[in-house]
Structure 1
Amino acid sequence: MNLYRSARAVAGASGDDVIDWESAADAAKAVTDPGSLELEAGEREAYARDVREARDAVRTVANVEFDVPDTVEIQNRHHWIDANIATFERVMETLEQQVPPGTFPGVARTINTGTMTVLLAFLGRNVLGQYDPLLLAETPEDDHALYFVRPNILSAADKLNVDPDRFRRWIAFHEVTHAAEFGAAPWLSDHLESRMEAGIATLTEGSFDRAAFRDLDAAMTVVEGYAELLMDHAFDDEYADLRRKLDARRQGRGPLQQLFRRLLGLGLKERQYERGKNFFETVVESADLETASVVWEGPAQLPTQDELDDPTLWLQRVDR
């Protein structure tokens, strides 16, 4: 790690944008060990095999036709930072379009760039795998991507004292379930984008579009919960111990790491996972897996906040 080079990159932030994205990426990589990408014999094929078998299993369980990205990327931490800074930039562009040029003085840009540096560095050291629907992408061919951060997977498996091959396979199944969701619901990307853009646009006006953010939270709760539902039915091994150990590791982190998790909204994601999982478990117990898949028929079929807490209301509304 090179703290001096990171600080120099942040201090040299320039341009007219809210954040100097190139400086943020350089600074984040300067304080993040990239990790090794020296793959062992057969390891690349093992990643590809896990993804193929996860795709086939989820297709069978969900009864939906979808595919995974043509290229599955095995990344180090620096690769992940480079891939995701483009996503952050697209999201922030909505905010920047609402702000007159020159609104952000140099000191504000430096602070924003430093904040983004901390965020990217923390996530770059902790993300294991990622299905990226590439929200707000400008070109049609940039439809989705699948990343595995190999150094983080190996590090987490070692710290959790679990078999790295089994752990990698579990991560692959989880990310492929997200690919299935976006494949089952071609409208989902547009829905998430519109809610995100509406919420950000009102923030620049000094107001807060509560409905937009509630809709976004409900949709993401469904995404996380349905993924776990498919995992329960598609994964060809027990994984309760993996989930338990991973949750215990998160809870056991120090105060600074816990603060980062709250600031980054990772606690919200865990709440979405638990709430979504409970919703779909109730739906399947009351009806079946096919009924649970009704959520992907269109935005109108997504559960409301009240229905997430009381799935019987949703079942009554969709007449199941």
Structure 2
Amino acid sequence: MNLFDGVQAITNASGTGPIDWDAAAEAATAATDPGSLTLSAEEREAYAADVRAAREAVGTAAAVDVELPDSVRIFDRHHWIEANVGTFERVMGPVETRTDTIPGIARTLNTGTMAVTLGFLGRNVLGQYDPVLLAEDPHELYFVHPNIVAVADELGVPLARFRRWIAFHEVTHAAEFGAAPWLPEYLESRLEGAVANLADGTLDQEAFRDLDAAMTAVEGYAELLMDEAFDRPYADLRDALDRRRQNRGPIADAIGRLLGLGLKRRQYERGKAFFEAVAAERGIEGAGAVWEAPTNLPTGDELDTPTEWLDRVDP
């Protein structure tokens, strides 16, 4: 980890766009310890075994075929940054194409902000499932091994149990996107619309509302599937992670708020409450009707009043 190299990369940011993406990635990796990626053959197989078990259990619970990549990718923190900087760049594409030449000082500040963002996430992301969403590859399933090891140790929980919990959670997302082939395009269109309007200095509130409601449904349904599919209690793991987030220090807390990580927790809770109410009335298969078409996604009001969604959407 070399902070000097990171600062130098940011101060040397160049180009005509608002962010020098190569410099942001270089600075983020320079300021981030990659962590150890030394795994035995047995440890690598353990990741794959957890994913296979999750695919079978989640597929049975959701009554859908769970499509996954042929291989599981195990990353260190630098790998995660390198894999995701392109996605960040594509998300910001509409802003960059609508923005005139940016003064050097603004580009430096923007590049520094993005480097901090990538570094923070690279040190905190545990696992990730990427469907066809602003990406060139069909989908990716990967785990940031050094983060999983560090957090399991910090929480005082067995690594094998914690790793398996992360695997199940990511596979629940795979099940959702497998059940809703239209979902990646839907999310992409709302995301690009929201970001594009920012370039004009306006906020597309409808696009943000649609995106928030959809992501709340994604996170809530994943929690419902976890309750059905995971083969052991896990409430203590969720509670321990929440306590860790609450005690991570003022700087990390401020960055987390800026990145909307508090919103993500709200989406978990709000979405889970919605799907628990729906499943109580129609069972888990009835709750899966949300993925049949974009029009079946709950609105913001329906998330808070599930009976409205139940009255609108036929089983």
How far apart, CA to CA, are the structure 2 residues paired with 1:31 and 1:113? 14
Counterpart check, 1:255 vs 2:255: no
Give the match for residue 155 of structure 1. Answer: 150
Distance in 2 (CA, whole Å) between partners of 1:110 and 1:263 is 19
Q: C-alpha separation between the residues in 2 aligned to 1:319 and 1:79?
A: 44
Verify the 8 A CA contact 2:80 2:122 in the aligned structure 1: yes
Which of 102, 112, 122 lines up with 1:114 in the alignment? Answer: 112
* Contiguous gaps of at least 5 residues in structure 1: none
- Name the SS of the counterpart of 1:287 in structure 2: helix
Post-superposition CA distance 1:106-146 (Å, at most 9, x none): 11111100000110111111111011125223x4xx11101
The answer for the alignment partner of 1:296 in structure 2 is: 291
Which residue of 1 is the match for residue 121 of structure 2? 123
- 2:181 is aligned with 1:183: no
Task: Give the letter for the 2:281 counterpart.
Answer: S
Q: 1:193-232 counterparts in 2 under 5 A?
A: 193-232=188-227
Q: Which residue of 2 aligns with 1:76?
A: 76
Q: Matches of 1:262 and 1:180 in 2, distance apart?
A: 29
SS of residue paired to 2:92: helix
Q: Secondary structure at the match of 1:198?
A: helix
Give the corresponding residue for 1:24. Answer: 24
Q: Which residue matches 1:38? A: 38
1:83 CA displacement? 0.4
Q: Note the C-alpha offset of 1:206.
A: 2.0
Which residue in 2 is equivalent to 1:85? 85
TM-score normalised per structure 2: 0.98
User: Structure 2: which 5+ runs fail to align?
Assistant: none
The answer to whether the aligner puts 1:282 opposite 2:280 as a matched pair is no
SS of equivalent residue, structure 1 residue 166: helix
**Alpha-carbon distance in structure 1 between the residues aligned to 2:195 and 2:307:** 32
**1:7 — aligned with what?**
7
Distance 1:95 1:143 in 2: 25
Which of the residues 306, 311, 314 maps onto 1:311? 306
| Poorly superposed stretches of 4+, deviation over 6 Å | none
- Amino acid paired to 2:259: L
**CA-to-partner distance for each residue in 1:267-300, whole Å, 9 max, x for gaps?**
0111111100110011111221111101100110
Identity rate, percent: 65
